[in-house]
Amino acid sequence: MLLDVAFWVLGLVAVASAVLVFVVDSMARATYALALSFVAVGLALLLLEQSYVGVVTVLMMLMEMAVMGVYMVMYMGMNPALMPMSMVHDNRAALGVSAATFVVLAAGALLVPWPVRRGVPAPDVTAALGEALMGRQMLVMVVVSPVMVATIVTGVVLAAGRTRYDRFGDDLDASPPRDPHRGGVGR
C-alpha cells in the first residue's frame, strides 16, 4: 500500500514537472523542472528494485541539468531566470500528435495481455548486474565503450571553432596556415 502511494506520488511529480518544463516562462525554471522529473523517475526505479540504475539516473541527470543551465546562459544571451520566453511553433499540431501518442501507448499498456512474471530477481540485483556485465553481457559494454569514444570525438569536432583542416586545408598541405594572426617564429 505504502509502495503504491509512493509510486503514484512519484509518477505524478514526474509527469507534472515534465509538463512544467514546457509551460514555465524561464529557462532556469524549465531546467529545475526537468531535473525534478528525472529525480522522480530515478526514485520510481528504486521502487522497482533498480538500485544501481535508479541512483545513476538521479546523479547523472542532476549533473546534466547543471551543464544544460550553463548552455542556456551561453546561448540564450539573457538572464535565464528573469526573461520570460515562449518559443513554440506548430503548437496545436504538436498537442494533437502527443495526445494521440498517449492514447495509443496507454491503450497498448492497458489492453495487451501481458505475460506472467518469469523467474525471480537475484538476491542482490546490483551484484547480478555487475556479474552480467563482466560475464555474459560483456559484449554490450564492449560496444557501448567505442560509441562513447566516438561521441567524444564527434563533440570536439563539431564544437571546435577552428581545427587543423581550417588552418591547413582539406589535404593539410597549406603553407603558411590560414591563421587570423601570423604567429610562430616567422616561417
Partner 1 sequence: MTLQTVLLVAAALFAVGLYGAISQQVVVMVMMGLEVMVNAVLLAAGAMWWFLAPDPAGQVLLLVVLAAMTVEMAAGFAVATLVHRHRGSDMTDSATDLAG
Shortest CB 82 distance to partner 1, Å? 17
Alpha-carbon distance of 71 to 101, in angstroms, equals 30
Q: Is 172 in the site for partner 1 (CB under 8 A)?
A: no
Least distance from partner 1 to the Cβ atom of residue 180, Å: 15
Our finding on whether 7 is near partner 1 (CB under 8 A) is yes
Q: Would you count residue 163 as binding partner 1 (CB under 8 A)?
A: no
Contact between 42 and 58 (Cβ < 8 Å): yes
**Which range, of 109-117, 166-174, 176-184, touches partner 1 by CB under 8 A?**
109-117
Q: What is the Cα–Cα distance from 63 to 34, expressed in whole angstroms?
A: 12
Contact range with partner 1 by CB under 8 A, out of 122-130, 168-176, 177-185 = 122-130
Q: Read off the C-alpha cell for 77.
A: 544571451
Residue 186 to residues 73, 168, 174, 181, Cα–Cα distance (Å)? 40, 17, 16, 12
Q: Site for partner 1 (CB under 8 A): which residue of 83, 105, 169, 178?
A: 105
The nearest distance, CB 131 to partner 1, in angstroms, is 7
Interaction mask 30-69, partner 1, x per CB under 8 A: x---x--xx--x--xx-xxxx-xx--xx--x---x--xx-
**Count of CA atoms in the C-beta half-sphere (13 A) of 88:** 12
Give dist(CA 2, CA 111) in Å, integer: 26
Residue 168 interacts with partner 1 (CB under 8 A)? no
* Amino acid, single-letter form, for residue 112: V
In the chain, what is the straight-line distance between the N-terminal and C-terminal CA atoms, in Å? 78
Tell which positions 66-85 bind partner 1, by CB under 8 A: 67-68, 71-72, 74-76
